[in-house]
Structure 1
Amino acid sequence: MNIQLALDRMKIEDAIQLSREVEQHIDWIEVGTSLIKEFGMTSVRRIKEAFPNKTIVADIKTIDNARYEFELCFQAGADVATVMGVAPLVTIEACMDVAKRYNKKVMIDLLNTSDEQKSALMRCKDAIFCDHVSKDQQEESGERHLGTRREDPTIQLAAAGGITFDSIGHLIETLNPDVVIIGSAISKAQNPSEAAAKFKQLISQSGVNR
């Protein structure tokens, strides 16, 4: 099970410094949507240059213009790029096509998708599906990620949204994701390195080995 550090609402230099502090305890580094919106592909490029051996996720949240945006991400060094599950299927299929050509991965964000949309998306066997509680849901409504039962053990699954020390055990038990995406519980901790190490320990103690 991989820990993906989500970097949002900070400067590139701060994102790199934070990642260096926790590097030994995390597996993937997410260049968050806010970083990409503020600094463009420079944020992806600089973080990949700083951490060439880490899997870099460009959380671009594509919903249209898929080929152009995904090529930008992969050319900048991203290993994974994200597309919204509510996008037209032709958009998602274009993302899959570009990723295959670059030998990269697509993460499909399931935020606000219906059961019907999720069923249609399951044809994308090589994608990573992200079960996501949004930042606005967390900050405006107080919702937190608790996880739901994983129905298909063959799909690649990520989980994001308000994951904490208290919730990760239940999340692993119910959802059993391949990737846990953790942001503020690490980035806003008094000691980010200790926080990341604790998450790593909790995952190890769960007995899950992915």
Structure 2
Amino acid sequence: MKIQLALDRMTIDEAIEIARKVEEHIDWVEVGTSLIKEFGMESVRLMKEAFPGKTIVADMKTMDNAVYEFEMCYKAGADVATVMGTAPDVSIEACLQVAAKMKKLVMIDLLNTKDERKVGLAQLDEALLCVHVSKDEQESGQAKRLLDLPESLLQNEQVRIAVAGGLTFETLRGLEARPSVAIIGSAITKATDPIKAAAQLKKYASGKEE
């Protein structure tokens, strides 16, 4: 299991600073949607410059204009970029084609995606599916279960799954299945001791603590 540090609602300098503190205990660094919207591709470029040995995720949440947006992300230094599961098939296919050409990865965000659609998207071997409880759902108290997937996908070890949305050490341990990627934001960035929090998560992710 990889630990992906989600960085949102802060400046680029603040994002780099917190990532440096916990660098030893994380695998992927996510340039969050809010960072990209506020600071553009500079946020991706600077993050890759700061952490050349880390997998950098550009959380674009692309819905359209897929080739342009994905090429832009990858050229800026992203190793992974995100597209919405509710995007048109042609857009998702374009993302996968760009990723294949540039030897990068695609993460498909399943926010507000119907189960039938999730099953269809799981057939895409090249993609990583992200089960996502939105920030608005979390803050309004309307959050659904974290691993909101059809049982057939939960039991399929061939399906690569990332989980995002208010994950903590306790909720991660309580998931019905171990995801390939655990996307952690405030449980690290807002922790009293971010290094200790990240270390605990990484220890569990590596299978050294159950």
Alignment TM-score, normalising by the size of structure 1: 0.93
Q: Which residue of 2 aligns with 1:154?
A: 158
Residue 191 of structure 1 deviates from its aligned partner by 1.3
Whole-angstrom CA distance in 1 between matches of 2:18 and 2:203: 19
Contact 1:145 1:160 in 2 (8 A): no
Alignment TM-score, normalising by the size of structure 2: 0.93
Whole-angstrom CA distance in 2 between matches of 1:54 and 1:145: 30
Letter in 1 for 2:191: A
Letter in 2 for 1:112: N
Q: Which residue of 2 aligns with 1:65?
A: 65
SS at match of 2:57: strand
Letter in 1 for 2:158: T
Residue 180 of structure 1 deviates from its aligned partner by 0.2
Q: Which residue of 2 aligns with 1:182?
A: 184
| Higher mean C-alpha deviation, range 35-44 or range 187-196 | 187-196
Q: Which residue of 2 aligns with 1:77?
A: 77
Percent identity over the alignment is 58
Per-residue Cα deviation, 1:12-60 (whole angstroms, up to 9, x for no partner): 0000000000000000000000000000000000000000000000000
Distance change >3 Å, CA 57–CA 75, structure 1 → 2: same
| Higher mean C-alpha deviation, range 117-126 or range 191-200 | 117-126
Q: Which residue of 2 aligns with 1:168?
A: 172
Alignment of 1:1-12 (within 5 A): 1-12=1-12
Alignment of 1:97-108 (within 5 A): 97-108=97-108
SS at match of 2:174: helix
Whole-angstrom CA distance in 1 between matches of 2:118 and 2:144: 21
RMSD across aligned positions (CA) = 1.4
5+ residue gaps, structure 2? none
Contact 2:146 2:165 in 1 (8 A): no
5+ residue gaps, structure 1? none
Whole-angstrom CA distance in 2 between matches of 1:142 and 1:112: 13
Distance change >3 Å, CA 191–CA 144, structure 1 → 2: farther
Q: Which residue of 2 aligns with 1:26?
A: 26
Letter in 1 for 2:170: D
Distance change >3 Å, CA 112–CA 58, structure 1 → 2: same
Residue 168 of structure 1 deviates from its aligned partner by 1.2
Letter in 2 for 1:105: L
Whole-angstrom CA distance in 1 between matches of 2:38 and 2:67: 21
Query: 2:114 matched to 1:114?
Result: yes
Whole-angstrom CA distance in 2 between matches of 1:72 and 1:145: 34
Residue 83 of structure 1 deviates from its aligned partner by 0.2
Whole-angstrom CA distance in 2 between matches of 1:113 and 1:33: 19
Q: Which residue of 2 aligns with 1:200?
A: 202
